[in-house]
Amino acid sequence: MLINNETIIKDPNPIIREKSEPVSLPLSAEDEKLLRDLFQYVKDSTDEEKAKEFDLRPAVGISAIQVGVKKQLTAVIVDDRDKNDAPEHYEFMLVNPKIVSSSVQKAYLSSGEGCLSVVQDHEGYVVRSARVTVKAFDLLQNKNITIRARGYLAIVLQHELDHFKGTLFYDYIDPKHPNKEVPGALVI
């Protein structure tokens, strides 16, 4: 499937608000190809030459609903730093991911969030859990995995999994106090 800025579903198209369905395992050839195409989009979107040539907006994740397919498939590639400030690189092609636990502590990006499907700017903090545990089948490893994520990776995973519920990041922004600081929150 060709995935670029033209083919990504944009808000307010109602499809982006539809719920995604679980996917049967083992993956069908069609579902596997779609997930690999989503992953390739994310990978290529951070390569300046490919992004320009193929009309790709930079991304750290994309979910199937963003290309009009109502299935619980998402691809994530994140560069982050661990608690000791050492670089970490994460790559996932997730099938039916579910958050099985989340921290009480909150976190948000100081610059706010963005989304390939949301062209309009929405200023404000998107307050999420600082840590999450996600269970899923990962096509990259070809097995069921458990991801214990903190900080930026946790935010990215929550953002992508929200797409399965038809939720967009700006749904979390407090319209009266969009930049209100949250005491005790991890600010990234």
Residues that are catalytic: 160
Determine how many CB atoms are found less than 10 A away from the CB of residue 129.
21
Residue type, 14: P
Question: For residue 183, what are the contacts with CB-CB under 8 A and spacing of at least 6?
Answer: none
Q: Which two tokens stand for residue 160?
A: 């992508």
Residue 104's CB: how many other CB atoms inside 10 A?
Answer: 8
Q: What is the DSSP letter of 173?
A: S
